[in-house]
Structure 1
């Protein structure tokens, strides 16, 4: 088996450890919040967290994405790439901090504004370091940095809330301290970073190229935020708070599939860049794409098997009907994952402006379909609008990137698998049809259709584990 598949699988495992570990620590932090913050305060923390994530690409100019790509480009001085990334975050971040201070002094803004600005500044520096480690092949360092940051946030914030009783401000200050400590640890103990920066020549031309790469990614982030936020706002406008609650509950299940695909895309981005100049890249890209499609369809089919039972056991009767929107949302997540896979090709080819254009098409279509469908079919309209939008983004990207890489889709596998998955979903809405029979038959057919890709994935996993001494 080719080493490129082994490396992709190994990186996926490492990213899984880091992502799952960080998410578990985040869940523990929610427990702390619910003990020491009232619902109103917790709601404010959630709102501000969303705003921080939205502001981050703007304040940092998304330069951390350029750090990853240019470090992996191979013909640039790594030290200059890192220096430029830190310089952008430092300059823009300090201006943001200064603007927040002016707002507090002269425009009566809350003092928490300055602390939030400090969080964004420290987090942007941390992202630059993390992407530098990822781009230079030190994936373990990347994962350790993420876990260390999550542990620091949990420990410091928990202490400030439980022992100092600082409330929301304890959360803000804890975030700043955690990211700052993580940055210092990375700078001092990550090997040759100090030496690399000391020897790095200043390269203004490189800075310009990095910004031309990163700036189109800022509106791309905004577009996906608009797609998510517009759903919630339009549900609120047309259907009210109760419907928003239903949709939020239904969305929790597809998020699991989205998390798995996001972890894989992180690993895939590295492999796609590394193999971009190889003669067999079309075959490599195609085989991985088809394996990803099979994996997402199979996981979706398994989720549908336990969907109604899980909602009945885990949720109260008031929320049981929310299961009806999950099947459509699963299709949306599958299309989103496949479009994200194709979107990596734009990064490989340094065509990030095309990422923005395709995302803009998706966001515009999503809003338009929501406005048309919600008044007609309610929450089903939101789910269908999201699925159709991501499907269109996937198709546009697939066609547009053929001039760079020709992805050979296994139509004889993917189309029948999608049809069986759709039929399985439709059967869930028919009370008279036995669920056990239809679910068993559907999963069996999907596994049979995807047998070749299952063998491909299994072969990679077993050989990698044998090499590691695990079996």
Structure 2
């Protein structure tokens, strides 16, 4: 079930991930580092307010929709009315705030950011809804439509000279247009009279601690962009953001695909079969997560110079060569923490523990950014992120064991570390090749070597899985 769902999500999300990766080389050739920096700051601001104000709704939807399978009209009405209420509150607050802003550029970014906030929040609700219904194809379609519209419209407008505004308009349409069909299909039964105050409180009490956690995680992930913009310049933010997005999104899409399939299966196993079944599922999840992420992170770090040359515009390449290895390491640590170790708090229903871990990591990240950015420049921000995530993993491991003890497949993890190390050795002779075809050859060779090692080491009982799969083929 895990492999099947992961494969479906990989196919479903792979196309949108490819489009998002394509957007980076396209946009870095259409806008300057300063314009990309402004775009990155607006997107980061929207992401922060989305996490703080709206994220608890989608988290509650993901966690409790299966429990309200027979009362979906009540559940979805409560979710939607809560969303509309937050839209009204944020709209009024923003209008008031705009009266006190003098800089017209800042006022414009705040106004367009508010509309982006509403669009992104509703888009996230729709994605989590189809995820709860175990519909990878629809999930992937939503993500693909958003990516294609954002790139097509944003890139087209940037080409016509609209700069950062063109990118923001494209992103806005990417959020809004895919949700139109969802309104008719999934939200048409919403009624104000069906909304439940008791259910709303349940969603709120479950989601608020996780909201605080995600907000603090967001600080670790994105505070460096704001600090770079403030302490250096928006151009430095642009150089850093492009490299961060390229490496983090490349690795993140693989880890997210595993989590999209794995987390609902773990919750279902715990609720329906008990802790022993959940531990078995969690162990399988961890093996698959490491199988995907370890070689990908190592490959990104090793091939960073060629990746930068192939994917980025000339103005961004030098910075990316030094940044990508550190960002890849940070993204790996972030994924392992979020998609494995943090599950102790969620499955054990003690989400406040996750808040404390995230708070420490956020404080460490901001403090190190303030210290290291003046000393090392934007590479200092990457150092700070790695250290913050490493500390977060240690704290999640220690505190999480008191809530819900997670299994750790130590033997299989050791096999995967060995396989990754041998793969890196196999890539060293062709590391210095440059160009698109050469990068494809490097990735293909690394994939083949790692795949053979998975077979030889029989990671996660791979031979048995493949044998059963072959037997099913007519």
2:136 aligned residue (139, 151, 160): 139
Structure 2: distance between partners of 1:113 and 1:327: 33
1:359 Cα deviation (Å)?
1.2
Structure 1: distance between partners of 2:124 and 2:283: 30
Structure 1: distance between partners of 2:235 and 2:165: 31
1:118 Cα deviation (Å)?
2.5
Q: Equivalent residues in 2 for 1:166-245 (5 A)?
A: 172=168, 175-189=171-185, 193-195=187-189, 197=190, 201-231=194-224
Structure 1: distance between partners of 2:156 and 2:423: 49
Q: Equivalent residues in 2 for 1:183-332 (5 A)?
A: 183-189=179-185, 193-195=187-189, 197=190, 201-231=194-224, 251=244, 252-253=246-247, 255-277=249-271, 278=273, 279-303=276-300, 306-307=303-304, 323=321, 326-332=324-330
- Name the residue aligned to 1:357: 356
TM-score computed with the length of structure 1 as normaliser: 0.75
TM-score computed with the length of structure 2 as normaliser: 0.75
1:454 aligns with 2:455: no
Q: Equivalent residues in 2 for 1:312-461 (5 A)?
A: 323=321, 326-341=324-339, 342-369=341-368, 383-403=382-402, 405-414=404-413, 418=417, 435-436=428-429, 452=457, 454=459, 456-457=461-462, 459-460=464-465
1:392 Cα deviation (Å)?
2.8
- Higher CA-based Rg: 1
Structure 1: distance between partners of 2:172 and 2:301: 41
Residues 342-377 of structure 1: CA distance to partner in whole angstroms, max 9, x if unpaired?
223433343332222211122223344556667888
1:79 aligns with 2:70: no
* Alpha carbons of structure 1 residues 166 and 386: separation in structure 2 relative to 1, 3 Å: closer
1:185 Cα deviation (Å)?
0.9
Question: Which deviates further from its counterpart, 103-112 or 56-65?
Answer: 103-112
Structure 1: distance between partners of 2:387 and 2:92: 43
* Alpha carbons of structure 1 residues 198 and 95: separation in structure 2 relative to 1, 3 Å: closer
Structure 2: distance between partners of 1:157 and 1:312: 23
Listed as ranges, the gaps of 5+ residues in structure 1 are 1-5, 429-433
- Name the residue aligned to 1:431: none
Structure 1: distance between partners of 2:213 and 2:260: 17
Residue 194 of structure 1: SS of its match in structure 2?
coil
- Aligned length in residues: 452
Structure 1: distance between partners of 2:194 and 2:249: 43
Structure 1: distance between partners of 2:307 and 2:165: 38
| 2:154–2:167 Cα contact (<8 Å) kept | yes
